[in-house]
Amino acid sequence: MEFNEVITNRYSCKDFTDKQIDEHQLNEILEAGRIAPTAKNFQEQKIYVIQSKEYLDKIDHCTPCRYHAPTVLVVAYDKNHVFNYPGDKRNSGIEDASIVATHMLLAAYNAGVDSCWINFFDPEQLAKELNLPKNEEILMMMDLGYGKAKPLANHFSRKEIKETVQYL
């Protein structure tokens, strides 16, 4: 798919069919995350693929936003392997994991898979449900599947460039 078509037409899907996504589509999505850039190339992301009923139920305990998606990715990062910027005021963990997640979100649409970025959950509760190691911080969850829902109105509502961009 043409790049502009992907970034324009990708939308947050809030209702999915039961049909599981194809393995080759999932692999394409995971590959897009693998090749994402990270600060100092530390690649501290950790991606969990959730498809079993047992684990989808755990997701449903933590968020109302699965929308019946048959696959959910949990994107985390190893907080012991982030790049700490000089001055120690910030580190690369959130940005790196966000870039990985964004690559996968766009790759999903390109592969014919609908998605939704989910932040509406308590990361500590989710880490406990999934029994993640203490060094991993969860950034987001990503619903993946074939959409039944069309884009919501807010997909078509974006501020003008002049409202968010300033030339200095």
**Residues engaged in binding ligand FMN (CB under 6 A):** 11-12, 14, 65, 116-120, 151-152, 154-155
Nearer to ligand FMN, 135 or 152 (CB): 152
Pairing state of beta strands 136-145 and 114-118? Answer: antiparallel
Give the nearest distance from C-beta 163 to ligand FMN in angstroms.
16
- Show the DSSP H helices in the chain as ranges: 3-9, 23-34, 53-62, 93-110, 123-130, 161-164
Nearer to ligand FMN, 5 or 135 (CB): 5
Give the nearest distance from C-beta 140 to ligand FMN in angstroms.
7
Give the nearest distance from C-beta 5 to ligand FMN in angstroms.
14
Q: What is the dihedral of CA 75, 76, 77, 80, to 10 degrees?
A: -170
Give the nearest distance from C-beta 63 to ligand FMN in angstroms.
7
CB 48 within 8 A of CB 138: no
Give the nearest distance from C-beta 74 to ligand FMN in angstroms.
13
Strand arrangement of the beta sheet that strand 114-118 belongs to: 45-50, 71-78, 136-145, 114-118
Nearer to ligand FMN, 40 or 155 (CB): 155
**What is the Cα–Cα distance from 146 to 161, expressed in whole angstroms?**
32
Nearer to ligand FMN, 60 or 80 (CB): 60
CB 103 within 8 A of CB 30: no
Nearer to ligand FMN, 38 or 109 (CB): 109
- Show the DSSP H helices in 77-139 as ranges: 93-110, 123-130
